[in-house]
Amino acid sequence: MSLLEVNNLTVEFGDGDNPFRAVDQVGYSVEKGEIVGIVGESGSGKSVSSLSIMGLIEYPGKVKADTLKFEGQDLLAMSENKRRAITGAEIAMIFQEPMSSLNPCYTVEYQISEALKIHQSGDKKWRRQRVIELLDQVGIPDPESRLKTYPHQLSGGMSQRVMIAMAIACDPKLLIADEPTTALDVTIQAQIVDLLLDLQKQKNMGLVLITHDLALVAEAAHRVIVMYAGQVVETGPAEQIFSKPKHPYTQALLRSLPESSLGKDRLDALPGVVPGAFDRPIGCLLNPRCPYATERCQKEQPTMQGEGVRQVRCFTPLDEAGRPSA
Amino acid sequence: MSDTIMKAAALDSEQPANQEQESVLSVNGVKKHYHVKAGMFKPDATVKALDGVSFSLAKGKTLAVVGESGCGKSTLARVLTMIETPTAGELCFDGKDILSLGKDAAKALRQKIQIIFQNPYGSLNPRKKVGTILEEPLVINSDMSKAERKQKALAMLAKVGLRPEHYDRYPHMFSGGQRQRIAIARGLMLDPKVVVADEPVSALDVSVQAQVLNLMMDLQEEMGLSYIFISHDLSVVEHIADEVMVMYLGKAVEYASCEELFANPKHPYTQALLSSTPRLDPAHRREKIKLEGELPSPLNPPQGCAFHARCRYANDRCHKEQPALVRETNAQVACFAREEGRIA
């Protein structure tokens, strides 16, 4: 049984007749102790799909799914109370901007112990002890003296450590990290990624790492999901995705990184931008930007094809040499 | 390695590394100190945002300034564009000392050094049309007629890859990449010679980032621009820069050509920065050097070398004295461990 199983997840916003699909038929699973990276540019639905797993999509957003199961329990069918007991305790999330995700009005101790108060029994003394333990685990020096600090007294890296402490407070089985290092400096980013991976290994958590930094995912994740305009376009083991991408979008993304153009004059840029709510193309969503698009791509939408975990949404998936198959 | 180290004069009097090429902008020992109130009964504290930086920028070349937040990169951009007046030091543009010029001459010179800001969502006035945004520098600084201004704005739009109909639109109608193109176009309206780009692509997505970088390189070739490219993303810097200056807490710690810096980083901080940058290709990955701690507060900088608390090579001398930039064969490095031959 997978830790998390998602099938045909769709999130829609807007009015009934013509809703905007921010997430379109997304499906994946996360096993225990596995690191899954979700990559894609802004507007590709990475964050919205994970928010919907946490149950954080508010009206008028609508979440639909064939399956949305955590350890075999259907998250959509269960009562609101039961779901709340799971999210925050067994599924936890680290949000993108540490500086703005913490409440400026409360101390670090209060914010971390809030989750403990709700999800676990124990008195105030125990909670304080646990908070100190957590702060120590996330590498904050002299944790006791930090209990009474407010978020504005912390640097970006420290705030992110506090966010991580909050997320792991109840020993979650699944941790979703949404761009955990985007707002941070390179050396601090390396520290936070190390910390996350250490914790993941120690506690054998499932970790969903959402980021736009392809290189980061290449270094950390076991399995990768590439998203484009709300759809999953390619999935597979990390080393295969990065060495032999099958979807033209994955290929283009990798090529547009400066690292891929070492020694070249110009970067291989993918023209155009991710389509928004009002300019969604007909057919394959990538077709206006795709160098290999055929007539069929402009009319029909491809479905996910392939065996097992290696799947791709393309009529002419790329072969080993990076050329489209006929 | 110590035999290759050539003792040079102290930082403030040092000549820039690149002398054979004509330099457009040369900066010598520039400092910017801010006075801040520390508390009601405490004396004012000084933040040394920029503490003695020197470099020279050759025509048509790109100098990248790299460092973490708080190292003084953006202050440098503000000083170079004359938004802020430096506390000390010299700024020479085309051989003329900018700081000693009169008001009118300074205004004329200011047109030749332009800036592109980081966040295109914040740097364009949402109440003005693109045309107005682009023409504003011309209205202030030139006596062109309305028709001439429009013509120039349209030509510039075409140059940055936008269409004429975009002239009458508002910034909110554009995507991030297009907005950054508008910001670039605005920066180029007065035909500058030097463009200071303060993290121009850090707010953009990977595929759009590549488009904007390509555009910047095309424009550089076409218009003979020199760039000061401020960034924290080393892979971008590696691609676009000719020379790189690494800064830490208001000071340059290493200044070298791009190839040399990436092939052979010398300062322990540069080495750590390079090793912490994630890489796609396992062959490009370097051995991870873990840096403990964070950038110290500029309000309360450590004694001695600013980096010593995080440096694995630090010894007693590093705790007490401040290293100056020392010229080596291919680079300038400010590090005692290097000077004493403790690290290769």
Contacts with A191 from chain B: Cβ below 8 Å: 290-291
Q: Has residue B283 got a pLDDT over 90?
A: no
Q: Has residue B299 got a pLDDT over 90?
A: no
Choose the closest CB to A190 out of B240, B276, B284: B276
pLDDT of residue B108: 87
CA atoms within 13 A on the CB side of B5: 20
CB pairs under 8 A between A and B: 107
Cα Rg of chain B, angstroms = 21
Contacts with B69 from chain A: Cβ below 8 Å: 156, 185
Averaged pLDDT of chain B: 87
Choose the closest CB to B214 out of A187, A254, A269: A269
By residue count, chain B amounts to: 344
Q: Does the beta carbon of A216 lie under 8 angstroms from any beta carbon of chain B?
A: yes
Q: Does the beta carbon of B296 lie under 8 angstroms from any beta carbon of chain A?
A: no
DSSP notation for A228-268: ETTEEEEEEEHHHHHHS--SHHHHHHHHHSGGGGTT-SS--
Q: Residue A67: CB partners within 8 Å, gap ≥ 6?
A: A5, A6, A7, A8, A74
- Per-block average pLDDT, block size 10, for chain A (326 residues)? 91 83 90 93 87 88 91 91 90 87 93 92 92 92 91 88 92 93 84 92 94 90 94 93 93 90 83 82 91 92 88 91 81
pLDDT digits (tens, 9 = 90+) for B33-48: 998 887 888 888 888 8
pLDDT of residue B169: 93
Choose the closest CB to A257 out of B69, B208, B280: B280
pLDDT of residue B270: 93
Instruction: Answer yes or no: do B209 and A256 touch at CB < 8 A.
Output: yes
pLDDT digits (tens, 9 = 90+) for B81-100: 988 899 999 999 988 888 88
Q: Does the beta carbon of B210 lie under 8 angstroms from any beta carbon of chain A?
A: yes
Q: Does the beta carbon of A252 lie under 8 angstroms from any beta carbon of chain B?
A: yes
Burial of A14 (0-12, 13-18, 19+ CB in 10 A): middle
Instruction: Give me A269's structure tokens.
Output: 């840029």
Question: Testing the interface with B: which of A158, A161, A186 to mutate, by most B Cβ within 10 A?
Answer: A186
pLDDT of residue B17: 47
Q: Which amino acid is at A114?
A: E
Quick one: what percent of chain B has pLDDT higher than 90?
55
Choose the closest CB to B68 out of A41, A158, A186: A186
pLDDT of residue B21: 65
pLDDT of residue B9: 36
User: Chain B: nearest CA to A224, how far in angstroms?
Assistant: 13
Choose the closest CB to A253 out of B69, B206, B275: B206
pLDDT of residue B20: 52
DSSP notation for A180-207: TTTTS-HHHHHHHHHHHHHHHHHHT-EE
Instruction: Answer yes or no: do B279 and A260 touch at CB < 8 A.
Output: no
Q: Residue A269: CB partners within 8 Å, gap ≥ 6?
A: A256, B207, B210, B211, B213, B214
Q: Has residue B6 got a pLDDT over 50?
A: no
Which residue of chain B is at minimal alpha-carbon distance from A41?
B205
Where do the H-state alpha helices sit in A15-122?
Answer: 46-54, 80-86, 98-101, 108-119
Task: State the complex-level ipTM.
Answer: 0.83
Q: Has residue B183 got a pLDDT over 60?
A: yes
For the ranges A78-92, A183-197, B123-137, B283-297, the lowest mean pLDDT is seen at B283-297
pLDDT of residue B10: 37
User: Chain B: nearest CA to A146, how far in angstroms?
Assistant: 16
Q: Among positive and negative, which fits the CA dihedral B182, B183, B187, B193?
A: negative
Q: Has residue B201 got a pLDDT over 50?
A: yes
pLDDT digits (tens, 9 = 90+) for B220-253: 999 999 999 999 888 899 999 999 999 999 999 9
Q: Has residue B16 got a pLDDT over 70?
A: no
Choose the closest CB to A259 out of B272, B276, B280: B280
Q: Does the beta carbon of A269 lie under 8 angstroms from any beta carbon of chain B?
A: yes
Give the whole-angstrom CA distance, residue A68 versus residue A52: 10
Give the whole-angstrom CA distance, residue B137 versus residue B145: 13
Instruction: Answer yes or no: do B206 and A256 touch at CB < 8 A.
Output: yes
Burial of A291 (0-12, 13-18, 19+ CB in 10 A): exposed
Contacts with B272 from chain A: Cβ below 8 Å: 187
- Nearest to residue B113, comparing CAs of B194, B185, B183, B58? B194
pLDDT of residue A326: 67
Give the whole-angstrom CA distance, residue B262 versus residue B264: 6
Quickly tell me which residue has 């023209």 as its tokens: A271
How far, CA to CA in Å, does B32 sit from each of B53, B78, B79, B251? 10, 10, 8, 11
Instruction: Answer yes or no: do A214 and B291 touch at CB < 8 A.
Output: no
Q: A223 - beta bridge partners? A: A36, A237
Give the whole-angstrom CA distance, residue A78 versus residue A74: 6
